[in-house]
Amino acid sequence: MSRLVVVSNRVALPGQASSGGLAVALQAALEETGGLWFGWSGNIADDASGQLHEQTAGNIDYVTVDLSRADHDDYYNGFANRTLWPLLHFRMDLVDYSRETWEAYRRVNALFADRLAPQLRDDDVVWIHDYHLIPLASLLRERGVRCKLGFFLHVPMPSSDILAALPHHGLLFEGLSAHDLVGFQTSRDLERFQDYVRLFGRGRVVEHGVLETASGRRLRAGAFPISIDTAGIERQAAAAVGKSSFKRLARSLSGRALAIGVDRLDYSKGLPERFRAFERYLQRYPDQIGELTYLQIAPVSRGDVLEYQTLRSELEQLAGHINGGHAEPDWTPMRYVNRNFPHASLTGFYRLARLGLVTPLRDGMNLVAKEYVAAQDPEDPGVLVLSSFAGAARELDQALLVNPYDLDGVAAAIARAVSMPLEERRERWEAMMACLRDHDITDWRRSYLQTLRAA
Ligand X SMILES: O=P(O)(O)OC[C@H]1O[C@H](O[C@H]2O[C@H](CO)[C@@H](O)[C@H](O)[C@H]2O)[C@H](O)[C@@H](O)[C@@H]1O
Q: What values do phi and psi take at 241, rounded to 5?
A: -60, -30
Give percent helix, percent strand, percent coil of the chain, each to the nearest 5: 50, 20, 30
Q: Which does 273 bind (CB under 5 to 8 A by kind): ligand UDP, ligand X, none?
A: none
- What part of residues 360-399 is at the interface with ligand UDP (CB under 6 A)? 365-368, 371
CB 361, min distance to ligand UDP, A? 12
The answer to whether 296 contacts ligand UDP (rule: CB under 6 A) is: no
Tell me whether residue 124 or residue 234 sits nearer to ligand UDP (CB atom): 234
One of 5, 7, 9, 19 touching ligand UDP (CB under 6 A): 19
Given 4, 5, 24, 311, the residue binding ligand UDP (CB under 6 A): 24
CB of 118 to ligand X, least distance (A): 25
Q: Using the minimum distance from each CB to ligand UDP, give the nearer residue, 153 or 197.
A: 153
Asked if 97 is part of the footprint of ligand UDP (rule: CB under 6 A), the reply reads: no
Task: Select from 16-24, 66-74, 199-207, 217-225 the region that touches ligand UDP (CB under 6 A).
Answer: 16-24
Q: How far is the CB of 268 from ligand UDP (least distance, A)?
A: 7
DSSP 85-127: HHHHTT-GGG----HHHHHHHHHHHHHHHHHHGGG--TT-EEE
262 binds, among ligand UDP, ligand X, none (CB under 5 to 8 A by kind): ligand UDP
CB 347, CB 240: distance < 8 Å: yes
Q: Which residues pair with 127 in a beta bridge?
A: 6, 150
Question: What is the number of H-type helices and E-type strands within the chain?
Answer: 17, 16
Catalytic: which of 180, 263, 363, 440?
363
Distance CA 199, CA 162 (A): 12
148 vs 351 by CB, closer to ligand UDP: 351
Our CB check for ligand X shows the closer of 367 and 385 to be: 367
* Site residues for ligand X per CB under 6 A: 10, 20-23, 25, 130, 154-155, 226, 301-302, 363-367
Per annotation, catalytic residue among 89, 129, 132, 154: 154
∠ CA 179-181-182, rounded to 5°: 90
Burial of 454 (0-12, 13-18, 19+ CB in 10 A): exposed
From ligand UDP, ligand X, none, which one binds at residue 371 (CB under 5 to 8 Å depending on kind)? ligand UDP
Contacts 24+ apart (CB under 8 A), 204-212: 211/177
8, 10, 20, 444: which one binds ligand UDP (CB under 6 A):
20
299 touches, from ligand X, ligand UDP, none (C-beta below 5 to 8 Å by class): ligand UDP
Single residue of 4, 5, 10, 21 touching ligand UDP by CB under 6 A? 21
Number of C-beta neighbours around residue 32 at 10 A: 14
| 363 carries an active-site annotation | yes
What does the alpha-carbon distance between residue 382 and residue 134 come to, in Å, rounded to a whole number? Answer: 39
Count the residues of the shown chain that bind ligand UDP, applying the rule CB under 6 A.
18
**CB of residue 194 to ligand X, shortest distance in Å:** 21
Shortest-Cβ-distance residue relative to ligand UDP = 21
- Ramachandran region of residue 155, left (φ > 0), alpha (ψ -120 to 50) or beta? beta
Instruction: Give the amino acid at 236.
Output: Q
Residues 38-57 that bind ligand UDP (CB under 6 A): none
Distance, C-alpha 395 to centroid of its chain: 16
Nearer of residues 18 and 403 to ligand UDP, judged by Cβ: 18
Residue 10 interface partner, choices ligand X, ligand UDP, none, CB cut-off 5-8 Å depending on type: ligand X
72 is catalytic: no
CA distance 134 to 87: 14
Which of ligand X, ligand UDP, none does residue 362 bind to, with CB < 5 to 8 Å depending on kind? none
In the complex, least distance from residue 364 CB atom to ligand X, rounded to whole angstroms: 3
User: If contact means CB under 5 to 8 A according to the sort of partner, which of ligand X, ligand UDP, none does residue 302 touch?
Assistant: ligand X
Q: Which of 326, 321, 268, 322 is nearest to 298 (CA)?
A: 268
Which parts of 26-88 are beta strand (E)?
35-45, 52-57, 60-68
70-103 exposure pattern, b = at least 16 Cβ within 10 A, e = fewer: ebbbbbbbbbbbbbbbbbbbbbeebbebeeebbe
Chain residue whose CB lies nearest ligand X: 20
The DSSP 8-state label assigned to residue 363 in this structure reads: B
Amino acid at 144: G
User: Under the criterion CB under 6 A, does residue 343 sit at the interface with ligand UDP?
Assistant: yes
Determine the Cα–Cα distance for residues 166 and 87; give it in Å rounded to an integer.
8
In the complex, the residues that contact ligand UDP under the rule CB under 6 A are: 19-22, 24, 262, 264, 297, 299, 340-341, 343, 346, 365-368, 371
Catalytic residues: 154, 363
